[in-house]
Chains A and B, each alone.
Chain A
Amino acid sequence: MAHFIYGVATNTGKGFFTAEDRRKFFLRGYPADVWMVGNNVDGAMWLAEKGASEKTKSEAQALIDAEVQAAQAAWDALSDEEKANPGNTRPVDITLP
């Protein structure tokens, strides 16, 4: 059995995940509203309650890649002066663990 399940859900802010949720199951957020959740009843219920569309790991990775690539393209379009700002670093690729 896989350790994690993946879903896409928009973070609606306050109450999207609660402290009680965090105590019940593992939760980690990624770009493109991808959420990696512990593969247990509480985690699955949380995804369902948020109306998340469940994804395979490879589907989730593809969504993240697309988001990061779009951000990289936006960064590439910045002026040289803006790119030179220390701290304004080019978005880097993210690989799901």
Chain B
Amino acid sequence: MATYEEIHGKRVNVLDSDPTLNSSYEGQVWYNSGSGTLKSVVAVQAWVSSSSLVGAARFALGSSGTQTASLSVGGELPGYTNAVEEYNGSGWSTSTNYPLSIQGPLVAGTQTAAVVCGGNTHPPSVDRTETFEYDGSSWTAGGALPAGRRALNNSGFGSQTAAVQSGGLIPGGVQNTSNEYDGSSWTAGNTINTNRYVHAGAGTLTAGIISSGVGAAPSYPSLTNVEEYDGTTFTTVNSMSTGHGATAGSNQAPQTSLIVFGGNSTPGSSINNTESYDGTNWTTQPNMASARQQLGGSGSSSSSGLAFAGYTTTQVATTEEYNSSINTFTAAAWASGGALPTATGSLAAAGTQTAGLGFGGYAPSITNSTLKYDGSSWTAVNNMGTARASLGGCGLQTAALAFGGITPPQTGKTEEYDGTNWSEQTDMTTARDRLGAAGIQTAALGFGGNTGSASPPYPAATEEYNGSSWTNGGNLNTARRNPAGAGTQTAGLAFGGSTDPDTNSTEEYDGSSWTAGGNLINAVSNLAGCGLQTAALKFGGGPSDRRPETEGYDGTSWSTRPSLATGRQDLAGAGTNVAALAIGGFDGTNKTNTEEFTGETETATASTLTTS
């Protein structure tokens, strides 16, 4: 029998323990002398759930992009939508609407440089010729298609300046024509070999591929046929093992490394099958969790894909990520933490997920209670000097700051906590409650809030604390009460709140002035937040619907994250965007609930090789 060395040209390494793993170890074999086992790293393929679209469930949408930068355009709700959403690898956020409310447009290119054309508007039913180019934020008219086409969905491939459209549907039947876009106009290409629509496209203008889809009348079969494009001619290549009608795929992937997933089987039931292509052969891969057709898809290789929206037995907004990796991905989630000893709302917090501090609030009377959290349970410690609610708080468990709030009336009182005792410091210049807070004990920010009877006008003023006194900073552009804050004194973040009504406005602070950031997905006040200016988390809020939604901010835009188990307003937040605490709050009654957020993680794991 051949030895391992004879087959692979290398000896099996003997190591005391498993090495620190990365992708370079994929396929390598070593002997772990510590455990006495033969080990290797094997790539595992799997679909995992991710955050749902922000807007309504939809199908028959246009889609393109990669797994971490995907684009969704239009679709049917039912009733056609012009909604555009972008996925950043964690969640979806809305963007500028498409100029038409449309079903089944073709999308080719990337999230920041796409071309969109065709599709159907209704009523009356019109197969569109219009083309629009997208730069990541706005739409500009391009050259029109020679003839209107619908049911193009995920079939386009190429780039904004070198795209290909093929097939499609018109009232006269399923088409076999193709067109090429050069960044300004479409010109006719050669015909495809099999008339089809709602198929999957991938690759480039000179090395493209179309696969599956729905074929021509009278049976409208779910096709297995695949064709490669060389820039001139479509050539039939090896077929897929399963017909995928109304399908999608990793359409920013190269011709030689892609996946196709979902769709329908004849006569139209949704499927969850996934197949990968290596340039020659198709291989069956793990199924999606949710069988769906008329879905959106994106991805950049046979190792990474994104499936979203579509039609199961009804339209859906759910998202799944496909990965082929040595890493095991674990989705973000909120879990229960230790309960507060007394139900409390409108409190403040500081510290981290495993070393937190909560202070003040309504319990239900205004309290000066202070509690510390060790990652499991809350323990009462020395009280603040001044009982208050709706106050600002920041810092660490052993170096926290409490400022403002209502006693009543509104106060500017400031207290520092050293891990044992609170000591009174210089008051804020403007007494206020319901204010935003950020920073640390020796470099804090207080902004916005309420100085009177909780009605406009609200203060826009920002105050900066240096460890001993407050000075005026730059005013918020949008004066508000009950915002959330994150970040530092020189890189702060204000988001949400009420003007009245509630606002989705986000502002970024640079140490002297506020500038607009990306808007929250939902306008919300009485929310909580934590993290940094470029890595923040928003959760909960109200005022009347006690929201459970969580959103994450990357310095540019907000996107969805898994929701709290218990939706609530007037809660406190602490920690980071990947290890957060949601504390107390109000959902009709004050809450004792603590929840702990853990962000998505990925871990490389070595497998033990056995003879069985």
A52 contacts partner chain B, Cβ-Cβ < 8 Å = no
Chain A residues whose CB sits within 8 angstroms of the CB of B566 once the complex forms: 28-30
State which residues 2-57 of A face B: CB under 8 Å.
11-23, 27-31
Chain A residues whose CB sits within 8 angstroms of the CB of B390 once the complex forms: 86-87
Chain A residues whose CB sits within 8 angstroms of the CB of B336 once the complex forms: 11, 13-18
Smallest CB separation, A62 vs chain B (Å): 15
Chain A 71-90 interface mask (CB, 8 Å, partner B; 1/0):
10011001001101111110
- Please state if B389 and A85 are interface contacts (CB–CB under 8 Å): yes
- Please state if B434 and A86 are interface contacts (CB–CB under 8 Å): yes
Chain B residues whose CB sits within 8 angstroms of the CB of A94 once the complex forms: 546, 587-588
- Please state if B335 and A22 are interface contacts (CB–CB under 8 Å): yes
B158 contacts partner chain A, Cβ-Cβ < 8 Å = no
Task: Across the interface, name the chain A residue whose C-beta is closest to B434.
Answer: A87
Tell me the complex Cα distance, A21–B565, Å: 11
- Please state if B450 and A75 are interface contacts (CB–CB under 8 Å): no
Q: At the interface, is chain B mostly helix, strand, loop or mixed?
A: loop
Q: At the interface, is chain A mostly helix, strand, loop or mixed?
A: loop
Chain B residues whose CB sits within 8 angstroms of the CB of A92 once the complex forms: 544, 588
Chain A residues whose CB sits within 8 angstroms of the CB of B404 once the complex forms: none
B366 contacts partner chain A, Cβ-Cβ < 8 Å = yes
A63 contacts partner chain B, Cβ-Cβ < 8 Å = no
- Please state if A28 and B565 are interface contacts (CB–CB under 8 Å): yes
Tell me the complex Cα distance, A13–B454, Å: 34
B334 contacts partner chain A, Cβ-Cβ < 8 Å = yes
- Please state if B406 and A71 are interface contacts (CB–CB under 8 Å): no
Tell me the complex Cα distance, A29–B565, Å: 6
- Please state if B333 and A19 are interface contacts (CB–CB under 8 Å): yes
Given A31-B588, A88-B362, are A17 and B335 also a contact pair (CB < 8 Å)? yes
Tell me the complex Cα distance, A23–B376, Å: 21
Tell me the complex Cα distance, A11–B570, Å: 20
Chain B residues whose CB sits within 8 angstroms of the CB of A14 once the complex forms: 336-338, 375-377
Chain A residues whose CB sits within 8 angstroms of the CB of B543 once the complex forms: 89
State which residues 203-242 of B face A: CB under 8 Å.
none
Smallest CB separation, B335 vs chain A (Å): 4
Chain B residues whose CB sits within 8 angstroms of the CB of A15 once the complex forms: 335-336
Task: Across the interface, name the chain B residue whose C-beta is closest to A92.
Answer: B588
A59 contacts partner chain B, Cβ-Cβ < 8 Å = no
Most chain B CB inside 10 Å of its own CB: which residue of A13, A31, A94: A13
Other 12 A-B pairs with CB < 8 A, given A22-B335, A84-B408, A86-B454: A13-B339, A13-B377, A14-B376, A15-B335, A22-B333, A23-B331, A29-B593, A81-B408, A82-B365, A86-B450, A87-B362, A87-B570
Residue numbers of B with Cβ under 8 A of A are: 49, 330-331, 333-339, 345-346, 362, 364-366, 375-377, 389-390, 406, 408, 433-434, 450, 453-454, 543-544, 546, 548, 562, 565-567, 570, 586-589, 592-594, 596, 598
Of the A-B pairs whose beta carbons lie under 8 Å apart in the complex, a sample of 5, sorted by A's number, is: A14-B336, A14-B338, A15-B336, A91-B586, A91-B588
Q: Which 7 A-B pairs have the closest CB atoms?
A: A29-B566, A19-B333, A86-B454, A22-B333, A16-B336, A13-B338, A71-B589
